[in-house]
Chain A
Amino acid sequence: MVLVERARGTRRVFAVDRRAAALGAAPGQTLAEVQARIAPLAVLAADREADAAFLTWLAGRCERFTPLVALAPPDGLMLDITGCAHLFHGEAGLRAALHGRLGLSLRDSIAGTPDAARALARFGPSHLEAPRFGPAEDVAALPVAALEAEPATTRALLRAGLKTIGDLAARPAGALTARFGAGPARRLARILGWEDTRIVPHRLPDGCTVERHFPEPLVQAQAVEAVLAELITALTTLLAQRGAGGRGFEASLFRSDGKLRRILVETGRPSRDAGAILRLFALRIAALNEPIDAGFGIETVRLATTHTETLAPLQPELDGGSGEGTEVAELIDRLVARLGRDRVLRFAARDSHIPERAARVVPAQLPSALAARAWTAPPGPPARPLRLFDPPEPIETLAEVPDGTPLRFRWRRALHEVARAEGPERIAPEWWRTAGEATRDYYRLEDREGRRFWVFRDGLHGVDGAAPCWFLHGLFA
């Protein structure tokens, strides 16, 4: 079987399976070439997005081995197993667990630096058998292609008679830099372990994590909440010891068939109140679109903070209450857990005279410093309406003179006779926006029944020829 993708007008082989490889197919050949050589050939289109999604999913599954998992696209994962191997009875045990758990055919290696591990896994000898764990002679025997430099660089090195990493290592680094730039030289140093780097994990672990493994998988989804209650107590104790509070808590449920479910709750201010956090989780679980499915059983439940902040211990007030601000913040957290973050909102002022851009809504959990602009209102009767239509609604108007105050107007099929009026208040478009916005003349109108409206004329008379349109933008109390 081969996977193909279209490149420069021809279909080229993107990946081959083991049997096709044995018959001489290799990535990069054209499909016609391979089909000429191998008669019964299964051809499928390559899907890079699905590959990337699978890799991300695999990274999640590898988190049970180490919290530090980095993606090495397009087809690799980098695990920092420092301090983790002894949990699996050594590196060999970890490898065996990895192979057994993932059930995929892998090319893997363990080495002192990320780059050496990558080079050994991709270019080492006899990939599919257990490599020895990256001693210097193994690295030295790697081909120069392991530098993963430009093809021209690799060719030039081969032409110069330098076939292995060991050959390069024997020469002064200065010569390599002078000929090919700093890139290959730095890569060489990293592969050889002269220079060490850290990986950038796919998901950065926060300080506090607690987890529980079950020898017998948990098959009842109802039991999850009980387990969470235990873990939350443990986590809050940990947080209290550090003088910290969590702003986000994430529960990861690892199922024995490899599925991973994450449940996230967030709070508006740092918290380590076990009861409150458990209530948020209960609300969140009750509001899930897709209920928790234990499937073949849940093996591991992990609870981690996604974001922590310093939280000084608070002295409870004398009457036993905890203050109005706290109560409201907890209410907001509960509503967010139930309805979602984008449904519990706060108003923030914006620096614009265009009415529909003068305000926006932000999630209420965000710290209020982000909405520090104060609201101002001139004294006198309200100059801005209480209710605003977005988009404005078209109306038909009648006025004495073309650019005068309307005498009557028709909105939603009802005719309104104007009794009082004020205006115009001219609001010019923001010149830095390119869209064709017109100058608006706003009027405050009151009809004979006492309803107050905010209408505007979109554009000026005698500028474009056609008469400008009128719109109703808002209603006053």
Chain B
Amino acid sequence: MPYPPPLPVPLPAKALPFRQRLAALARPAAPVRQGAITFGLAELDGWLGGGLLRGALHEVFAAGQADVAAATGFAALLALRAARQRRILWVRQDFLDGPTGQLHPPGLAALGLNPALVVLVRAGDVMGVLRAAGEAARCGGLGAVLVEPWGEAPQIDHTAGRRLSLAAAESGVPVLMLRVAATPTASVAASRWSVEALPSRPLPANAPGPPAFTASLLRHRGGAAGATWHLEWDHDRHCFQSYDAAPLPRAVVPVPAGRAAGPAPAGSWRRAG
């Protein structure tokens, strides 16, 4: 599969020693940690050392097949906090509309994300998604890039991840990869989250309350991982707030009634049609 050349790297003349040429190719190892993406929750931001790296790739996994909406909400809200009223490019794979539903703009508006800021790009397959995302990640004028491929795609490998990371580091645009129906594996992402739905704070008459998530930090480059937070979205202040529990030092899975303890399986998704 042809892949577009990532970035025009000015190669020095062939006469230069190999080591020197290699040095020219190498990127700065740690990009500038400026304007980190914060959650608006002091404990969580403190744990992350000030927030998530802005120009980097972050992955958000849906913990189970029914947690797609929770993971979408978490990623969208993260993009909203990262974008600071700039445009958000959302790349989706066509196949997603069937099993996980379409993106519903009034729902985005209800979370506080203005749908007018969103540019929706539809791609036919995973390669198309990655190409469009790579193109977008190089555009410094965007607020955030949300990439939503479907399933366990072997195309999303270390090379693809590194490509996106480099493009993000260069332009300073956060790239959020939303993975549904996929199990978290090792990758080059700066952080990896697994998101699960959390019973919300009940409103009067036992009505469902504001969006709530159980977010587990599976990996955090240059920081400690393996923690779980219970978060609730505060619509008025546009930030996350702690709900029901303080930040826990270790991975803790809430044990609701009628379900076994332990991490929820990724679910048996079947591609039909």
Query: Once the chains are docked, how many angstroms separate the CA of A329 from the CA of B207?
Result: 43
Would you call A343 and B208 a contact (CB within 8 A)? no
Query: Once the chains are docked, how many angstroms separate the CA of A331 from the CA of B26?
Result: 26
Residue-wise interface mask of B (83-97) relative to A, using a CB-CB cutoff of 8 A (1 in contact, 0 not):
000110100000001
Would you call B121 and A343 a contact (CB within 8 A)? yes
Would you call A328 and B200 a contact (CB within 8 A)? no
Closest to A368 in B: B116
Q: Does B108 contact A (CB under 8 A)?
A: yes
Closest to B66 in A: A451
Query: Once the chains are docked, how many angstroms separate the CA of A343 from the CA of B120?
Result: 8
Number of A-B residue pairs having CB atoms within 8 Å of each other in the complex = 215
Q: Does A383 contact B (CB under 8 A)?
A: yes
Q: Does A85 contact B (CB under 8 A)?
A: no
Provided the pairs A345-B120, A386-B108 are in contact, do residues A421 and B206 lie with their beta carbons within 8 angstroms? Answer: yes
Chain A interface SS verdict (over half) = mixed
Among B67, B102, B122, B131, the residue within 8 A (CB) of A451 is B67
Most buried by A among B72, B100, B109, B120: B109
Q: Number of residues in B with C-beta < 8 Å to the partner?
A: 69
Provided the pairs A345-B120, A387-B107, A450-B198 are in contact, do residues A477 and B73 lie with their beta carbons within 8 angstroms? Answer: yes
Would you call A326 and B141 a contact (CB within 8 A)? yes
Would you call A476 and B211 a contact (CB within 8 A)? yes
Q: Does A168 contact B (CB under 8 A)?
A: no
Query: Once the chains are docked, how many angstroms separate the CA of A401 from the CA of B101?
Result: 30
Query: Once the chains are docked, how many angstroms separate the CA of A323 from the CA of B256?
Result: 50
Would you call B121 and A386 a contact (CB within 8 A)? no
Would you call A331 and B142 a contact (CB within 8 A)? yes
In the bound complex, residues from chain A placing their C-beta under 8 Å from that of B114 are 375
In the bound complex, residues from chain B placing their C-beta under 8 Å from that of A334 are 135
Provided the pairs A381-B208, A477-B70 are in contact, do residues A346 and B120 lie with their beta carbons within 8 angstroms? Answer: yes
Q: Does B168 contact A (CB under 8 A)?
A: no
Would you call A331 and B136 a contact (CB within 8 A)? yes
Among A346, A390, A422, A452, the residue within 8 A (CB) of B197 is A452
CB distance from A197 to the nearest CB of B (A): 47
* A443-463 at interface with B (beta carbon < 8 Å): 444-446, 448-452
Q: Does B50 contact A (CB under 8 A)?
A: no
Would you call B209 and A381 a contact (CB within 8 A)? yes
Would you call A327 and B141 a contact (CB within 8 A)? yes
Residue-wise interface mask of A (362-391) relative to B, using a CB-CB cutoff of 8 A (1 in contact, 0 not):
001000100100011111111111111110
Closest to B115 in A: A347
Would you call A331 and B210 a contact (CB within 8 A)? no
Provided the pairs A382-B111, A384-B106 are in contact, do residues A476 and B141 lie with their beta carbons within 8 angstroms? Answer: no
In the bound complex, residues from chain B placing their C-beta under 8 Å from that of A359 are 104-106, 115
Q: Does B235 contact A (CB under 8 A)?
A: yes
Q: Does B257 contact A (CB under 8 A)?
A: yes
Q: Does B259 contact A (CB under 8 A)?
A: yes
Provided the pairs A379-B235, A450-B256 are in contact, do residues A477 and B116 lie with their beta carbons within 8 angstroms? Answer: no
Query: Once the chains are docked, how many angstroms separate the CA of A32 from the CA of B145?
Result: 71
Q: Number of residues in A with C-beta < 8 Å to the partner?
A: 60
Would you call B115 and A451 a contact (CB within 8 A)? no
Provided the pairs A375-B116, A420-B208 are in contact, do residues A475 and B110 lie with their beta carbons within 8 angstroms? Answer: no
Closest to A327 in B: B141
Would you call A449 and B211 a contact (CB within 8 A)? no
Closest to B102 in A: A388
Among A328, A344, A414, the residue within 8 A (CB) of B141 is A328
Provided the pairs A334-B135, A383-B110, A475-B101 are in contact, do residues A446 and B119 lie with their beta carbons within 8 angstroms? Answer: no
Provided the pairs A332-B119, A476-B211 are in contact, do residues A339 and B128 lie with their beta carbons within 8 angstroms? Answer: yes
Q: Does A419 contact B (CB under 8 A)?
A: yes
Closest to A329 in B: B141
Would you call A448 and B107 a contact (CB within 8 A)? no
In the bound complex, residues from chain A placing their C-beta under 8 Å from that of B108 are 347, 386
Provided the pairs A345-B122, A381-B208, A414-B66 are in contact, do residues A390 and B102 lie with their beta carbons within 8 angstroms? Answer: yes
CB distance from A473 to the nearest CB of B (A): 9
Closest to B201 in A: A381
Provided the pairs A344-B121, A345-B122 are in contact, do residues A446 and B199 lie with their beta carbons within 8 angstroms? Answer: yes
CB distance from A470 to the nearest CB of B (A): 17
Query: Once the chains are docked, how many angstroms separate the CA of A384 from the CA of B106?
Result: 6
Provided the pairs A328-B87, A387-B102, A444-B208 are in contact, do residues A450 and B199 lie with their beta carbons within 8 angstroms? Answer: yes
Q: Does A325 contact B (CB under 8 A)?
A: yes
Provided the pairs A444-B207, A474-B101 are in contact, do residues A335 and B109 lie with their beta carbons within 8 angstroms? Answer: no
In the bound complex, residues from chain B placing their C-beta under 8 Å from that of A475 are 68-69, 101
Would you call B110 and A343 a contact (CB within 8 A)? no
Residues in chain A within 8 A of chain B (CB atoms): 323-328, 330-332, 334-335, 338-339, 343-347, 349, 355, 358-359, 361, 364, 368, 371, 375-390, 414, 417, 419-422, 444-446, 448-452, 474-477
**Can you list 14 residue pairs at the A/B interface with Cβ under 8 Å?**
A324-B86, A332-B119, A344-B120, A345-B121, A347-B120, A375-B106, A381-B235, A387-B69, A387-B104, A420-B200, A421-B207, A450-B197, A450-B212, A476-B211
Extra contacts, 19 of them, besides A384-B106, A420-B208, A452-B200 (Cβ < 8 A), are A328-B141, A335-B136, A371-B116, A384-B110, A386-B76, A390-B102, A420-B200, A420-B206, A422-B207, A446-B199, A448-B256, A448-B257, A449-B256, A450-B196, A450-B214, A474-B104, A477-B73, A477-B211, A477-B233
